[in-house]
Amino acid sequence: MYDIPAPMLAKSVPTVPAADRVEGGLSYEPKWDGFRALVAWDGTEVEIGSRGSKPLTRYFPELVDAFSRLLPEPCLLDGEIVVAVGEPGAQRLDWPALSQRIHPAASRVTMLSETTPAMFIAFDLLARGDALLHDEPFRVRRAHLEDLLAGVPHPVHLTRTTGDADLAARWLEEFEGAGLDGVVAKPLALPYAPGKRTMFKIKHARTADVVAVGYRVHKSGRGVGSLLVGLYGPDGVIRNVGGVAAWSDARRLELVEELAPLVERDDEGDAVVGETDRSRFSSSKDVSFVRLRPERVLEVRYDQLEGDRFRHTVQFERWRPDRDARSCTYEQLEAVASYDLGDVLD
C-alpha cells in the first residue's frame, strides 16, 4: 500500500491570477466543495485518507467498491468526495447530504451509501504502479492522470482544466450555481508539495449585515470564542446563520465587556444560555452560548449560503451602528443562478 501524505494546499487570492503569474504558467480548475481525499489502491485494498488524517474508508463503501472495480492499475489519487442531489439537468452538490455520511453506525453508512451515493472527482496523481510522481511537475502528473482515467466511468470523474484565465473567471461565476466553491490555479512546473500552500484558490467574497445573537465562551474559559450571528426571515423570526471567530486574545476579553449590556438575563439576573444544533462534527463539543438581545449589527464577509446558513465561518468586517437590526434580512443576499452539475462534469 502507498503511504498517504498530507495533501498539497492552496492560499487565497482575491481574483483569478494571470497565467504568467508564476514561471511555467498556471492550470485552472473548478474548486469542488466536498471532502478532500487521497485514495490509495494497491490492486488489492483501498484506503481513503482525509486532509485531517481521519480515515474515510469505512464511510464510503460504494467508492471503495468502485475504485477496486474501475481503476485500471494501482495508483495514489488526490481529489474530492462529493454528493450530488437533484434530477439530471438540475443537479448540484449537497454539503448537508455529504456531511451525514460521517456516522458511527455501520447500518446507517450502508443505507446512505445507497440513498445518497458519493462520487470522486480526481485532480492529481501522486503514484502510478511502481512510479512515484510526487517530484514530477503538475503538467506531467496531469498527463498521467488523464491517461489513467481515460474511459473510467461514474462515480470516478476527472476534473476539467483550462489554461485560459478568462474562462476560469467565467467558471467562478457560473459553477457556483451547481454548488461548487470557486476556482483553483495550479503552477504547472511545480512538484507535489504535501502540506504546503503552493496553489492558489479564488472564492466568492461577499458582505452582509447581520445581527449578533449570542456568543460562545473561548475554550480557554476567558473571553468570546465566537460570535453567533443571525438574519430575519420573511416570517419576521431571526435565524442563526453562522459564526464569527478569529479574535485576538485581547479582543476576546474586550468583547465580553462590550456585549455585557446586551446579554439576556432571567428573573434572577443570570445570563440566559442557549444551545446551537448539534452535528456529527460537534457531537462531543460544547454547543452552549450566551444569548444576546438582537440589537447590535455588524458587517461580515462570506463566500456562499448553504440552505439558510452561511456555508463557512464568516469574517468580521466592521460594526454597523447605523443599521437597525430588523433591516438585516435574507433579501440583502445575492441570489445565485442555478447551473447543472452535469455540465461541470462533462
Alpha-helix residue ranges (DSSP H) falling in the chain? 61-70, 95-99, 106-115, 138-149, 165-174, 249-259, 341-345
Q: What is the pLDDT of residue 127?
A: 98
- Rounded to the nearest 10 degrees, the angle between the axes of helix 106-115 and helix 61-70 is 60
The mean pLDDT value of the chain amounts to 91
Distance CA 197, CA 6 (A): 12
Could you tell me the strand order of the sheet in which 9-12 lies? 9-12, 197-202, 182-187, 26-31
Vertex 231, ends 229 and 232: CA angle to 5°?
A: 145
Residue 219's pLDDT is: 87
Enumerate the active-site residues. 31
pTM for the whole thing?
A: 0.77
Distance between CA 231 and CA 294 in Å, rounded? 10
- The answer, yes or no, to whether residue 322 has pLDDT greater than 90, is no
What is the model's pLDDT at position 240? 93
Percent of the chain at pLDDT exceeding 90: 71
Measured CA to CA in angstroms, residue 201 lies from 19, 124, 146 at distances of: 14, 16, 22
**Band (83; pLDDT cuts 50, 70, 90):** very high
Nearest to 34 by CA among 81, 86, 101: 81
Q: What cell was used for 245?
A: 471567530
pLDDT digits (tens, 9 = 90+) for 118-151: 999 999 999 999 999 999 999 999 999 999 999 9
pLDDT at 54 over 90: no
CA dist., res. 341 & res. 98, Å (int): 15
Report the pLDDT value the prediction gives residue 178, as an integer from 0 to 100. Answer: 93
Domains of the chain: 9-203 (3.30.470.30), 206-332 (2.40.50.140)
Cα 299 to Cα 75, 86, 221, 244, 326, distances in angstroms: 47, 33, 26, 11, 14
- Residue 329 carries which DSSP code? B
pLDDT per position as a tens digit, 221-279:
889 999 999 999 999 999 999 999 888 999 999 999 999 999 998 887 777 787 765 44
| pLDDT, position 53 | 66
204 or 296: which leads in pLDDT: 296
Q: Which amino acid appears at position 302 of this protein? A: Y
